[in-house]
Structure 1
Amino acid sequence: MRYYHPDIQPYHSDHLPVGEGHKIWFAESGNRDGIPVVILHGGPGAGSADKDRGFFDPRQYRIIQLDQRGCGRSTPHGALENNTPHHLVADLEALRAHLGITQWVLFGGSWGSTLALLYGQTHPAAVLGFILRGIFLGRPEDLSWLYENGAGRIFPEHWQKFCAAVDYETPLLDTYYHRLTGADELEALRVAKAWAAWEGLIATLKPSPKTVARFINPHTALSMARISAHYFVQQCFLDDNQLLRDMPKIADLPAIIVHGRYDMICPMDNAWALKQAWPGARLEVIREAGHSAHDPAMADALIRATDDLAHDLGVPDRSA
Protein backbone atom coordinates (compact mmCIF):
# COMPACT_ATOMS: atom_id res chain seq x y z
CA MET A 1 0.00 0.00 0.00
CA ARG A 2 1.25 3.47 -0.88
CA TYR A 3 1.46 6.08 1.84
CA TYR A 4 1.33 9.85 1.64
CA HIS A 5 4.42 11.61 0.41
CA PRO A 6 6.26 13.63 3.08
CA ASP A 7 4.68 16.85 4.30
CA ILE A 8 5.89 19.88 2.39
CA GLN A 9 5.15 23.56 2.65
CA PRO A 10 4.26 25.87 -0.24
CA TYR A 11 7.11 27.88 -1.71
CA HIS A 12 4.65 30.53 -2.87
CA SER A 13 1.14 31.62 -1.90
CA ASP A 14 -0.93 34.69 -2.62
CA HIS A 15 -4.39 36.06 -3.39
CA LEU A 16 -5.41 36.63 -7.01
CA PRO A 17 -8.13 39.24 -7.71
CA VAL A 18 -10.60 37.68 -10.15
CA GLY A 19 -13.26 40.39 -10.36
CA GLU A 20 -16.56 41.28 -8.72
CA GLY A 21 -14.74 41.82 -5.44
CA HIS A 22 -13.51 38.21 -5.21
CA LYS A 23 -9.93 37.23 -4.43
CA ILE A 24 -8.92 33.57 -4.61
CA TRP A 25 -6.15 32.15 -2.46
CA PHE A 26 -3.65 29.83 -4.14
CA ALA A 27 -0.40 28.11 -3.24
CA GLU A 28 2.39 26.30 -5.09
CA SER A 29 4.57 23.51 -3.76
CA GLY A 30 6.75 20.68 -5.04
CA ASN A 31 8.98 20.94 -8.12
CA ARG A 32 8.79 24.31 -9.88
CA ASP A 33 9.68 22.50 -13.13
CA GLY A 34 7.45 19.49 -12.56
CA ILE A 35 4.10 18.53 -14.09
CA PRO A 36 1.62 21.26 -13.18
CA VAL A 37 -1.38 19.84 -11.32
CA VAL A 38 -4.24 21.82 -9.84
CA ILE A 39 -6.18 20.35 -6.92
CA LEU A 40 -9.90 21.09 -7.06
CA HIS A 41 -11.55 20.69 -3.67
CA GLY A 42 -15.08 19.58 -2.99
CA GLY A 43 -18.15 21.05 -1.42
CA PRO A 44 -18.67 23.30 -3.24
CA GLY A 45 -17.31 25.58 -0.58
CA ALA A 46 -15.27 23.17 1.54
CA GLY A 47 -11.87 24.77 0.88
CA SER A 48 -8.52 23.12 0.25
CA ALA A 49 -6.71 20.79 2.67
CA ASP A 50 -2.95 20.84 3.27
CA LYS A 51 -2.95 17.04 3.47
CA ASP A 52 -3.92 16.78 -0.20
CA ARG A 53 -0.38 17.72 -1.20
CA GLY A 54 0.63 14.28 0.05
CA PHE A 55 -0.98 12.56 -2.93
CA PHE A 56 1.82 13.83 -5.19
CA ASP A 57 5.51 13.07 -5.45
CA PRO A 58 6.95 16.57 -4.96
CA ARG A 59 9.87 15.67 -7.22
CA GLN A 60 7.52 15.01 -10.12
CA TYR A 61 4.76 17.57 -9.68
CA ARG A 62 4.30 21.31 -9.43
CA ILE A 63 1.36 21.22 -7.01
CA ILE A 64 -1.15 24.07 -7.19
CA GLN A 65 -3.90 24.45 -4.62
CA LEU A 66 -6.62 27.06 -4.49
CA ASP A 67 -9.65 27.92 -2.44
CA GLN A 68 -12.59 28.48 -4.77
CA ARG A 69 -14.69 31.62 -4.50
CA GLY A 70 -16.10 32.29 -1.08
CA CYS A 71 -14.33 29.60 0.92
CA GLY A 72 -11.13 28.76 2.75
CA ARG A 73 -8.72 31.66 2.58
CA SER A 74 -10.44 33.28 -0.40
CA THR A 75 -12.45 36.43 0.17
CA PRO A 76 -15.16 37.48 0.79
CA HIS A 77 -15.93 34.42 2.88
CA GLY A 78 -19.22 32.68 2.16
CA ALA A 79 -20.12 35.09 -0.66
CA LEU A 80 -22.80 33.88 -3.05
CA GLU A 81 -22.84 36.86 -5.40
CA ASN A 82 -21.12 36.14 -8.72
CA ASN A 83 -20.45 32.60 -7.53
CA THR A 84 -21.37 29.97 -10.12
CA PRO A 85 -19.45 27.13 -11.79
CA HIS A 86 -18.87 29.40 -14.78
CA HIS A 87 -17.16 31.94 -12.52
CA LEU A 88 -15.02 29.14 -11.05
CA VAL A 89 -13.96 27.99 -14.53
CA ALA A 90 -12.99 31.57 -15.39
CA ASP A 91 -11.04 31.81 -12.12
CA LEU A 92 -9.05 28.71 -13.05
CA GLU A 93 -8.19 30.20 -16.42
CA ALA A 94 -7.11 33.43 -14.72
CA LEU A 95 -4.91 31.47 -12.33
CA ARG A 96 -3.38 29.38 -15.12
CA ALA A 97 -2.50 32.55 -17.04
CA HIS A 98 -1.18 34.24 -13.89
CA LEU A 99 1.16 31.30 -13.22
CA GLY A 100 2.32 31.07 -16.83
CA ILE A 101 1.13 27.47 -17.24
CA THR A 102 0.35 26.16 -20.71
CA GLN A 103 -1.30 22.89 -19.69
CA TRP A 104 -2.00 21.23 -16.37
CA VAL A 105 -3.44 18.09 -14.83
CA LEU A 106 -6.82 18.39 -13.11
CA PHE A 107 -7.10 16.51 -9.81
CA GLY A 108 -10.60 16.78 -8.39
CA GLY A 109 -12.84 14.93 -5.98
CA SER A 110 -16.58 15.10 -5.39
CA TRP A 111 -17.63 18.62 -6.45
CA GLY A 112 -14.00 19.01 -7.57
CA SER A 113 -14.59 16.26 -10.16
CA THR A 114 -17.62 18.20 -11.44
CA LEU A 115 -15.57 21.37 -11.77
CA ALA A 116 -12.69 19.48 -13.41
CA LEU A 117 -15.01 18.07 -16.08
CA LEU A 118 -16.67 21.42 -16.68
CA TYR A 119 -13.32 23.20 -16.96
CA GLY A 120 -11.92 20.51 -19.26
CA GLN A 121 -14.95 20.63 -21.53
CA THR A 122 -14.63 24.42 -21.70
CA HIS A 123 -10.84 24.55 -22.16
CA PRO A 124 -9.70 21.13 -23.42
CA ALA A 125 -6.48 22.49 -24.92
CA ALA A 126 -5.32 23.54 -21.45
CA VAL A 127 -5.57 20.02 -19.98
CA LEU A 128 -2.87 17.35 -19.83
CA GLY A 129 -5.07 14.78 -18.14
CA PHE A 130 -7.44 14.05 -15.28
CA ILE A 131 -7.40 12.22 -11.97
CA LEU A 132 -10.93 12.23 -10.61
CA ARG A 133 -12.31 10.78 -7.38
CA GLY A 134 -15.81 10.36 -5.97
CA ILE A 135 -17.55 11.43 -9.18
CA PHE A 136 -20.44 13.88 -8.85
CA LEU A 137 -22.29 14.60 -12.10
CA GLY A 138 -24.65 17.18 -10.61
CA ARG A 139 -27.80 15.50 -11.98
CA PRO A 140 -31.18 15.78 -10.23
CA GLU A 141 -30.93 12.14 -9.16
CA ASP A 142 -27.54 12.81 -7.54
CA LEU A 143 -28.99 15.62 -5.43
CA SER A 144 -32.06 13.56 -4.63
CA TRP A 145 -29.87 10.74 -3.30
CA LEU A 146 -28.23 12.99 -0.72
CA TYR A 147 -31.07 15.35 0.18
CA GLU A 148 -34.33 13.49 -0.45
CA ASN A 149 -34.54 9.72 -0.55
CA GLY A 150 -31.26 7.87 -0.66
CA ALA A 151 -28.42 8.11 1.81
CA GLY A 152 -30.86 8.78 4.63
CA ARG A 153 -32.13 5.21 4.26
CA ILE A 154 -28.61 3.93 4.95
CA PHE A 155 -27.95 6.33 7.82
CA PRO A 156 -31.41 6.99 9.32
CA GLU A 157 -30.03 8.18 12.66
CA HIS A 158 -27.92 10.90 11.01
CA TRP A 159 -30.67 11.77 8.52
CA GLN A 160 -33.15 12.30 11.34
CA LYS A 161 -30.84 14.84 12.98
CA PHE A 162 -30.22 16.56 9.65
CA CYS A 163 -33.93 16.98 9.03
CA ALA A 164 -34.74 17.92 12.63
CA ALA A 165 -32.25 20.81 12.52
CA VAL A 166 -34.69 22.76 10.34
CA ASP A 167 -37.99 21.27 11.54
CA TYR A 168 -38.20 19.23 8.37
CA GLU A 169 -40.04 20.92 5.56
CA THR A 170 -40.32 19.93 1.92
CA PRO A 171 -38.26 20.46 -0.12
CA LEU A 172 -35.47 20.14 2.40
CA LEU A 173 -32.87 21.85 0.21
CA ASP A 174 -34.99 24.97 -0.11
CA THR A 175 -35.57 25.07 3.65
CA TYR A 176 -31.85 24.87 4.36
CA TYR A 177 -31.09 27.48 1.71
CA HIS A 178 -33.49 30.02 3.21
CA ARG A 179 -32.12 29.46 6.73
CA LEU A 180 -28.51 29.71 5.54
CA THR A 181 -29.11 32.95 3.67
CA GLY A 182 -31.41 34.61 6.19
CA ALA A 183 -30.64 37.66 8.32
CA ASP A 184 -30.11 35.65 11.53
CA GLU A 185 -26.38 34.91 11.49
CA LEU A 186 -26.46 32.68 14.58
CA GLU A 187 -29.24 30.60 13.07
CA ALA A 188 -27.33 30.36 9.79
CA LEU A 189 -24.27 29.04 11.61
CA ARG A 190 -26.30 26.50 13.60
CA VAL A 191 -27.92 25.19 10.43
CA ALA A 192 -24.58 25.20 8.59
CA LYS A 193 -23.05 22.93 11.23
CA ALA A 194 -25.98 20.53 10.88
CA TRP A 195 -25.45 20.47 7.10
CA ALA A 196 -21.71 19.87 7.48
CA ALA A 197 -22.19 17.18 10.14
CA TRP A 198 -24.52 15.21 7.85
CA GLU A 199 -21.87 15.07 5.14
CA GLY A 200 -18.97 14.46 7.52
CA LEU A 201 -20.72 11.57 9.24
CA ILE A 202 -21.31 9.66 6.00
CA ALA A 203 -18.16 10.61 4.08
CA THR A 204 -15.85 7.89 5.37
CA LEU A 205 -16.02 4.11 5.25
CA LYS A 206 -15.51 3.94 9.01
CA PRO A 207 -16.58 6.60 11.54
CA SER A 208 -14.04 9.43 11.60
CA PRO A 209 -14.44 12.02 14.36
CA LYS A 210 -11.54 13.98 12.80
CA THR A 211 -13.42 14.31 9.51
CA VAL A 212 -16.58 15.45 11.25
CA ALA A 213 -14.63 17.95 13.36
CA ARG A 214 -13.05 19.45 10.23
CA PHE A 215 -16.40 19.75 8.51
CA ILE A 216 -18.23 21.39 11.42
CA ASN A 217 -15.51 23.92 12.10
CA PRO A 218 -17.56 27.15 11.89
CA HIS A 219 -15.41 28.72 9.15
CA THR A 220 -15.64 25.62 6.94
CA ALA A 221 -19.24 24.73 7.78
CA LEU A 222 -20.62 28.16 6.95
CA SER A 223 -19.00 28.45 3.53
CA MET A 224 -19.64 24.83 2.56
CA ALA A 225 -23.31 24.86 3.58
CA ARG A 226 -24.09 28.28 2.11
CA ILE A 227 -22.31 27.75 -1.19
CA SER A 228 -23.46 24.14 -1.59
CA ALA A 229 -27.09 25.07 -0.96
CA HIS A 230 -26.75 28.03 -3.34
CA TYR A 231 -25.49 25.70 -6.08
CA PHE A 232 -27.83 22.82 -5.40
CA VAL A 233 -31.09 24.77 -5.40
CA GLN A 234 -30.00 25.87 -8.88
CA GLN A 235 -29.23 22.30 -9.99
CA CYS A 236 -25.54 23.23 -9.99
CA PHE A 237 -26.24 25.80 -12.73
CA LEU A 238 -25.88 22.96 -15.26
CA ASP A 239 -28.10 21.89 -18.14
CA ASP A 240 -29.69 18.45 -17.92
CA ASN A 241 -27.00 15.80 -18.17
CA GLN A 242 -24.56 18.46 -19.35
CA LEU A 243 -21.34 16.81 -18.29
CA LEU A 244 -22.10 13.48 -19.98
CA ARG A 245 -23.48 15.26 -23.05
CA ASP A 246 -20.23 17.17 -23.54
CA MET A 247 -17.83 14.26 -23.00
CA PRO A 248 -16.79 14.12 -26.69
CA LYS A 249 -14.89 17.37 -26.08
CA ILE A 250 -12.38 15.59 -23.80
CA ALA A 251 -12.79 11.95 -24.80
CA ASP A 252 -9.23 11.73 -26.13
CA LEU A 253 -7.56 13.05 -22.97
CA PRO A 254 -6.02 10.61 -20.46
CA ALA A 255 -8.04 10.07 -17.30
CA ILE A 256 -8.00 7.92 -14.20
CA ILE A 257 -11.31 7.67 -12.33
CA VAL A 258 -11.18 6.38 -8.76
CA HIS A 259 -14.40 5.69 -6.87
CA GLY A 260 -15.20 4.04 -3.55
CA ARG A 261 -17.57 1.08 -3.81
CA TYR A 262 -19.35 2.25 -0.66
CA ASP A 263 -19.46 5.96 -1.43
CA MET A 264 -22.58 7.20 0.35
CA ILE A 265 -22.36 10.81 -0.86
CA CYS A 266 -21.78 10.19 -4.56
CA PRO A 267 -23.02 6.69 -5.40
CA MET A 268 -21.04 4.44 -7.69
CA ASP A 269 -23.43 4.92 -10.63
CA ASN A 270 -21.95 8.41 -11.16
CA ALA A 271 -18.55 6.90 -11.96
CA TRP A 272 -20.09 4.10 -13.99
CA ALA A 273 -22.05 6.53 -16.17
CA LEU A 274 -18.92 8.64 -16.69
CA LYS A 275 -16.90 5.60 -17.72
CA GLN A 276 -19.56 4.60 -20.28
CA ALA A 277 -19.24 8.06 -21.82
CA TRP A 278 -15.44 7.97 -21.62
CA PRO A 279 -14.26 4.57 -22.93
CA GLY A 280 -10.62 5.60 -22.88
CA ALA A 281 -10.64 6.46 -19.17
CA ARG A 282 -9.39 4.01 -16.56
CA LEU A 283 -11.95 3.29 -13.84
CA GLU A 284 -10.80 1.87 -10.53
CA VAL A 285 -13.46 0.81 -8.04
CA ILE A 286 -12.03 0.73 -4.53
CA ARG A 287 -13.77 -1.97 -2.52
CA GLU A 288 -12.71 -0.82 0.93
CA ALA A 289 -13.46 2.89 0.53
CA GLY A 290 -16.29 5.36 0.84
CA HIS A 291 -16.36 8.95 -0.37
CA SER A 292 -13.39 10.43 1.47
CA ALA A 293 -10.09 10.85 -0.35
CA HIS A 294 -8.41 9.91 2.92
CA ASP A 295 -9.92 6.49 3.50
CA PRO A 296 -6.68 4.41 3.50
CA ALA A 297 -7.53 2.33 0.43
CA MET A 298 -8.65 5.44 -1.45
CA ALA A 299 -5.48 7.35 -0.55
CA ASP A 300 -3.42 4.39 -1.77
CA ALA A 301 -5.30 4.35 -5.08
CA LEU A 302 -4.93 8.11 -5.59
CA ILE A 303 -1.19 8.05 -4.91
CA ARG A 304 -0.79 5.20 -7.38
CA ALA A 305 -2.84 7.16 -9.89
CA THR A 306 -0.63 10.25 -9.63
CA ASP A 307 2.47 8.09 -10.10
CA ASP A 308 0.90 6.30 -13.07
CA LEU A 309 -0.17 9.50 -14.78
CA ALA A 310 3.28 11.01 -14.31
CA HIS A 311 4.75 7.93 -15.97
CA ASP A 312 2.22 8.12 -18.82
CA LEU A 313 3.16 11.76 -19.35
CA GLY A 314 6.81 10.79 -19.69
CA VAL A 315 8.20 11.50 -16.22
CA PRO A 316 10.50 8.75 -14.85
CA ASP A 317 9.20 6.90 -11.77
CA ARG A 318 11.14 8.12 -8.72
CA SER A 319 9.06 6.32 -6.09
CA ALA A 320 11.62 3.56 -5.45
Structure 2
Amino acid sequence: MMKTPLLVILLTLLGLKAQAIEVTDSLGSHEFATAPQRVVTLNWAATEQVLELGVTPLAVADVTGYRDWVVQPALAEGVADVGLRQEPNLERIAELRPDLIITGDQQQDLVPRLSQIAPVLHFESFSSEHNNADAAREAFVQLARALDREPQAEQRLAWLDARFEALKGRLHQHFGEQLPRVSVVRFVDTRHVRIYGDNGMPQYALARLGIAPALPQPVSQWGQVQKKLTDLGAIRDGVVLYIEPFPEKDKLFAMPLWRAMPFVRAQRAAAVPPTWTYGGIMSLGYLAGNLTESLLSIDPQ
Protein backbone atom coordinates (compact mmCIF):
# COMPACT_ATOMS: atom_id res chain seq x y z
CA MET A 1 0.00 0.00 0.00
CA MET A 2 1.40 3.40 -1.04
CA LYS A 3 1.78 6.03 1.67
CA THR A 4 -0.12 9.28 1.18
CA PRO A 5 2.36 12.00 0.12
CA LEU A 6 3.08 14.58 2.84
CA LEU A 7 2.06 17.42 0.52
CA VAL A 8 -1.38 15.91 0.04
CA ILE A 9 -1.82 15.51 3.81
CA LEU A 10 -0.85 19.15 4.43
CA LEU A 11 -3.19 20.43 1.74
CA THR A 12 -6.01 18.34 3.17
CA LEU A 13 -5.44 19.76 6.66
CA LEU A 14 -5.54 23.26 5.20
CA GLY A 15 -8.81 22.50 3.45
CA LEU A 16 -7.23 22.56 0.02
CA LYS A 17 -7.27 19.86 -2.60
CA ALA A 18 -4.27 19.10 -4.77
CA GLN A 19 -5.11 18.94 -8.46
CA ALA A 20 -4.68 15.39 -9.68
CA ILE A 21 -2.34 14.59 -12.56
CA GLU A 22 -4.37 12.83 -15.24
CA VAL A 23 -2.54 10.50 -17.59
CA THR A 24 -3.71 8.22 -20.40
CA ASP A 25 -1.83 5.08 -21.38
CA SER A 26 -2.74 2.09 -23.56
CA LEU A 27 -5.01 0.69 -20.86
CA GLY A 28 -7.00 3.81 -20.00
CA SER A 29 -6.89 6.84 -17.71
CA HIS A 30 -4.99 7.17 -14.45
CA GLU A 31 -4.69 9.81 -11.75
CA PHE A 32 -1.73 10.69 -9.55
CA ALA A 33 -2.00 12.97 -6.53
CA THR A 34 1.61 14.09 -7.07
CA ALA A 35 4.30 13.32 -9.63
CA PRO A 36 6.00 9.95 -8.96
CA GLN A 37 9.62 10.17 -7.83
CA ARG A 38 10.77 6.54 -7.59
CA VAL A 39 10.36 5.13 -11.08
CA VAL A 40 11.10 1.63 -12.36
CA THR A 41 11.18 1.03 -16.12
CA LEU A 42 10.82 -2.50 -17.46
CA ASN A 43 10.92 -1.63 -21.16
CA TRP A 44 13.90 -0.10 -22.95
CA ALA A 45 11.73 2.46 -24.73
CA ALA A 46 10.36 3.55 -21.36
CA THR A 47 13.88 3.78 -19.96
CA GLU A 48 14.94 5.93 -22.88
CA GLN A 49 11.89 8.18 -22.54
CA VAL A 50 12.30 8.95 -18.83
CA LEU A 51 16.02 9.61 -19.30
CA GLU A 52 15.18 12.10 -22.05
CA LEU A 53 12.91 13.85 -19.55
CA GLY A 54 15.79 14.24 -17.12
CA VAL A 55 14.63 11.47 -14.77
CA THR A 56 17.03 8.74 -13.67
CA PRO A 57 15.06 5.55 -13.05
CA LEU A 58 15.43 3.78 -9.74
CA ALA A 59 15.77 0.47 -11.58
CA VAL A 60 15.71 -0.90 -15.12
CA ALA A 61 15.15 -4.31 -16.69
CA ASP A 62 18.29 -5.74 -18.35
CA VAL A 63 20.76 -2.92 -17.78
CA THR A 64 23.51 -4.68 -19.76
CA GLY A 65 21.25 -5.17 -22.78
CA TYR A 66 20.24 -1.52 -22.71
CA ARG A 67 23.87 -0.41 -22.77
CA ASP A 68 24.73 -2.84 -25.61
CA TRP A 69 21.74 -2.29 -27.87
CA VAL A 70 20.17 1.07 -27.04
CA VAL A 71 23.29 2.97 -25.96
CA GLN A 72 21.72 6.45 -26.19
CA PRO A 73 20.74 8.16 -23.98
CA ALA A 74 23.36 6.83 -21.61
CA LEU A 75 22.24 5.10 -18.44
CA ALA A 76 24.01 6.28 -15.30
CA GLU A 77 26.06 3.90 -13.18
CA GLY A 78 24.34 2.64 -10.06
CA VAL A 79 20.89 2.10 -11.56
CA ALA A 80 19.57 -1.20 -10.21
CA ASP A 81 18.97 -4.14 -12.54
CA VAL A 82 15.72 -6.00 -11.91
CA GLY A 83 16.16 -8.87 -14.33
CA LEU A 84 14.90 -9.67 -17.81
CA ARG A 85 12.27 -7.56 -19.54
CA GLN A 86 9.87 -10.49 -19.91
CA GLU A 87 10.69 -11.99 -16.49
CA PRO A 88 11.54 -9.17 -14.09
CA ASN A 89 12.30 -9.94 -10.46
CA LEU A 90 9.08 -8.89 -8.73
CA GLU A 91 10.51 -9.34 -5.23
CA ARG A 92 13.43 -7.06 -6.03
CA ILE A 93 11.08 -4.45 -7.50
CA ALA A 94 8.93 -4.54 -4.36
CA GLU A 95 12.01 -4.12 -2.17
CA LEU A 96 12.84 -0.89 -4.00
CA ARG A 97 9.42 0.58 -3.09
CA PRO A 98 8.75 2.41 -6.38
CA ASP A 99 5.84 4.80 -6.75
CA LEU A 100 5.56 4.14 -10.50
CA ILE A 101 6.36 1.19 -12.76
CA ILE A 102 6.40 1.69 -16.53
CA THR A 103 5.94 -1.19 -18.95
CA GLY A 104 5.71 -1.43 -22.72
CA ASP A 105 5.16 -3.65 -25.72
CA GLN A 106 4.67 -7.37 -25.02
CA GLN A 107 4.56 -6.79 -21.23
CA GLN A 108 0.83 -6.36 -20.65
CA ASP A 109 0.57 -9.75 -18.94
CA LEU A 110 2.86 -8.40 -16.20
CA VAL A 111 0.59 -5.48 -15.33
CA PRO A 112 -1.79 -7.24 -12.87
CA ARG A 113 1.07 -8.53 -10.69
CA LEU A 114 3.05 -5.30 -10.90
CA SER A 115 -0.02 -3.29 -9.93
CA GLN A 116 0.10 -5.00 -6.53
CA ILE A 117 3.46 -3.32 -5.96
CA ALA A 118 2.86 0.18 -7.34
CA PRO A 119 0.82 2.07 -9.95
CA VAL A 120 1.67 0.99 -13.50
CA LEU A 121 1.65 2.91 -16.77
CA HIS A 122 1.65 0.68 -19.84
CA PHE A 123 2.34 1.80 -23.42
CA GLU A 124 1.85 -0.38 -26.50
CA SER A 125 3.73 1.73 -29.02
CA PHE A 126 4.21 -0.80 -31.83
CA SER A 127 1.23 -1.99 -33.85
CA SER A 128 0.32 -2.41 -37.50
CA GLU A 129 -2.96 -0.65 -36.61
CA HIS A 130 -1.39 2.74 -35.90
CA ASN A 131 1.50 5.01 -36.79
CA ASN A 132 4.34 3.88 -34.49
CA ALA A 133 6.08 7.25 -34.48
CA ASP A 134 2.88 9.06 -33.52
CA ALA A 135 2.24 6.52 -30.74
CA ALA A 136 5.78 6.98 -29.42
CA ARG A 137 5.35 10.76 -29.36
CA GLU A 138 2.07 10.48 -27.45
CA ALA A 139 3.65 8.10 -24.91
CA PHE A 140 6.44 10.63 -24.38
CA VAL A 141 3.92 13.43 -23.79
CA GLN A 142 1.91 11.31 -21.34
CA LEU A 143 5.00 10.30 -19.38
CA ALA A 144 6.07 13.93 -19.21
CA ARG A 145 2.70 14.79 -17.75
CA ALA A 146 2.90 12.00 -15.17
CA LEU A 147 6.40 13.02 -14.09
CA ASP A 148 5.68 16.75 -14.12
CA ARG A 149 8.21 17.25 -16.92
CA GLU A 150 6.07 18.80 -19.65
CA PRO A 151 8.41 21.79 -20.28
CA GLN A 152 11.32 19.37 -20.71
CA ALA A 153 9.27 17.33 -23.19
CA GLU A 154 8.47 20.43 -25.25
CA GLN A 155 12.15 21.38 -25.32
CA ARG A 156 13.25 17.91 -26.38
CA LEU A 157 10.63 17.68 -29.14
CA ALA A 158 11.66 21.10 -30.45
CA TRP A 159 15.28 19.92 -30.44
CA LEU A 160 14.22 16.83 -32.41
CA ASP A 161 12.55 18.88 -35.14
CA ALA A 162 15.56 21.18 -35.40
CA ARG A 163 17.92 18.22 -35.55
CA PHE A 164 16.12 16.72 -38.53
CA GLU A 165 16.44 19.98 -40.45
CA ALA A 166 20.13 20.37 -39.61
CA LEU A 167 20.94 16.80 -40.63
CA LYS A 168 18.97 17.15 -43.85
CA GLY A 169 21.04 20.21 -44.69
CA ARG A 170 24.28 18.28 -44.19
CA LEU A 171 23.07 15.50 -46.47
CA HIS A 172 22.13 17.90 -49.26
CA GLN A 173 25.49 19.63 -48.90
CA HIS A 174 27.17 16.24 -49.39
CA PHE A 175 24.96 14.65 -52.07
CA GLY A 176 23.48 17.69 -53.75
CA GLU A 177 19.81 18.25 -54.53
CA GLN A 178 18.98 14.56 -55.06
CA LEU A 179 19.49 12.36 -51.99
CA PRO A 180 20.07 8.62 -52.55
CA ARG A 181 17.42 6.03 -51.84
CA VAL A 182 18.30 4.12 -48.69
CA SER A 183 17.28 0.88 -46.99
CA VAL A 184 18.20 0.14 -43.39
CA VAL A 185 18.71 -3.48 -42.33
CA ARG A 186 19.77 -5.72 -39.47
CA PHE A 187 21.48 -8.99 -40.32
CA VAL A 188 19.91 -12.04 -38.67
CA ASP A 189 22.61 -14.44 -39.86
CA THR A 190 24.65 -14.86 -43.04
CA ARG A 191 21.55 -15.90 -45.01
CA HIS A 192 18.77 -13.71 -43.61
CA VAL A 193 18.18 -10.03 -43.06
CA ARG A 194 15.52 -7.81 -41.48
CA ILE A 195 14.65 -4.93 -43.80
CA TYR A 196 13.01 -1.90 -42.21
CA GLY A 197 10.02 -0.50 -44.05
CA ASP A 198 6.76 1.35 -43.48
CA ASN A 199 5.97 1.90 -39.80
CA GLY A 200 9.59 1.21 -38.88
CA MET A 201 11.44 3.80 -36.83
CA PRO A 202 14.41 3.86 -39.26
CA GLN A 203 12.01 4.58 -42.12
CA TYR A 204 10.41 7.42 -40.15
CA ALA A 205 13.85 8.88 -39.48
CA LEU A 206 14.78 8.64 -43.17
CA ALA A 207 11.49 10.23 -44.22
CA ARG A 208 12.16 13.21 -41.94
CA LEU A 209 15.52 13.54 -43.69
CA GLY A 210 13.81 13.57 -47.08
CA ILE A 211 15.03 10.11 -48.09
CA ALA A 212 12.95 7.46 -49.89
CA PRO A 213 13.45 3.69 -49.38
CA ALA A 214 15.66 1.74 -51.78
CA LEU A 215 13.60 -1.42 -51.25
CA PRO A 216 10.11 -0.48 -49.94
CA GLN A 217 8.46 -2.84 -47.46
CA PRO A 218 4.81 -2.99 -46.32
CA VAL A 219 3.40 -1.81 -43.00
CA SER A 220 3.99 -4.22 -40.12
CA GLN A 221 3.83 -4.13 -36.33
CA TRP A 222 7.55 -3.56 -35.82
CA GLY A 223 8.16 -1.93 -39.18
CA GLN A 224 10.40 -4.70 -40.46
CA VAL A 225 10.23 -7.73 -42.73
CA GLN A 226 12.58 -10.70 -42.59
CA LYS A 227 13.91 -11.68 -46.00
CA LYS A 228 16.55 -13.87 -47.56
CA LEU A 229 19.86 -12.10 -47.98
CA THR A 230 19.56 -12.60 -51.74
CA ASP A 231 16.54 -10.26 -51.79
CA LEU A 232 18.91 -7.34 -51.22
CA GLY A 233 20.17 -7.93 -54.75
CA ALA A 234 17.12 -6.03 -55.98
CA ILE A 235 18.75 -2.81 -54.76
CA ARG A 236 20.53 -1.63 -57.89
CA ASP A 237 21.26 2.05 -57.36
CA GLY A 238 20.40 2.61 -53.70
CA VAL A 239 22.32 2.53 -50.44
CA VAL A 240 22.20 -0.17 -47.76
CA LEU A 241 22.92 0.79 -44.16
CA TYR A 242 23.30 -2.10 -41.71
CA ILE A 243 22.95 -1.59 -37.98
CA GLU A 244 25.60 -3.07 -35.73
CA PRO A 245 26.39 -5.23 -33.87
CA PHE A 246 26.51 -8.34 -36.05
CA PRO A 247 29.04 -10.92 -34.78
CA GLU A 248 29.26 -12.73 -38.15
CA LYS A 249 30.02 -9.59 -40.12
CA ASP A 250 33.49 -10.67 -41.29
CA LYS A 251 32.16 -14.06 -42.40
CA LEU A 252 29.31 -12.47 -44.34
CA PHE A 253 31.45 -9.87 -46.04
CA ALA A 254 33.88 -12.56 -47.25
CA MET A 255 31.11 -14.46 -49.02
CA PRO A 256 31.00 -14.19 -52.86
CA LEU A 257 27.24 -13.65 -52.63
CA TRP A 258 27.70 -10.49 -50.57
CA ARG A 259 30.55 -9.16 -52.72
CA ALA A 260 28.37 -9.63 -55.82
CA MET A 261 25.59 -7.38 -54.54
CA PRO A 262 25.22 -4.31 -56.81
CA PHE A 263 25.39 -1.83 -53.90
CA VAL A 264 28.49 -3.56 -52.52
CA ARG A 265 30.28 -3.40 -55.87
CA ALA A 266 29.33 0.29 -56.09
CA GLN A 267 30.63 0.89 -52.52
CA ARG A 268 27.23 2.05 -51.38
CA ALA A 269 26.96 0.11 -48.12
CA ALA A 270 27.95 1.33 -44.67
CA ALA A 271 27.67 0.37 -41.00
CA VAL A 272 25.53 2.24 -38.49
CA PRO A 273 26.64 2.28 -34.82
CA PRO A 274 24.40 0.38 -32.37
CA THR A 275 21.10 2.24 -32.31
CA TRP A 276 17.79 1.03 -30.91
CA THR A 277 15.12 0.81 -33.59
CA TYR A 278 12.19 -0.05 -31.30
CA GLY A 279 12.39 2.89 -28.96
CA GLY A 280 10.59 6.10 -28.10
CA ILE A 281 10.16 9.23 -30.15
CA MET A 282 13.53 10.69 -29.19
CA SER A 283 15.27 7.59 -30.56
CA LEU A 284 14.46 9.00 -34.00
CA GLY A 285 16.98 11.76 -33.32
CA TYR A 286 19.75 9.29 -32.55
CA LEU A 287 18.75 7.16 -35.53
CA ALA A 288 18.78 10.15 -37.85
CA GLY A 289 22.16 11.27 -36.56
CA ASN A 290 23.79 7.87 -36.92
CA LEU A 291 22.20 7.25 -40.32
CA THR A 292 23.45 10.64 -41.51
CA GLU A 293 27.02 10.00 -40.36
CA SER A 294 27.00 6.64 -42.15
CA LEU A 295 25.64 8.20 -45.35
CA LEU A 296 28.29 10.91 -45.26
CA SER A 297 30.93 8.15 -45.49
CA ILE A 298 29.62 7.23 -48.95
CA ASP A 299 30.92 9.15 -51.95
CA PRO A 300 28.27 11.00 -54.00
CA GLN A 301 27.69 9.54 -57.47
Higher relative contact order, structure no. (Cα contacts within 8 Å, ≥ 6 residues apart): 1
**TM-score, shorter chain, exceeding 0.5:** no
TM-score by length of 2: 0.29
Indicate the structure with greater helix content.
Answer: 1
TM-score by length of 1: 0.28
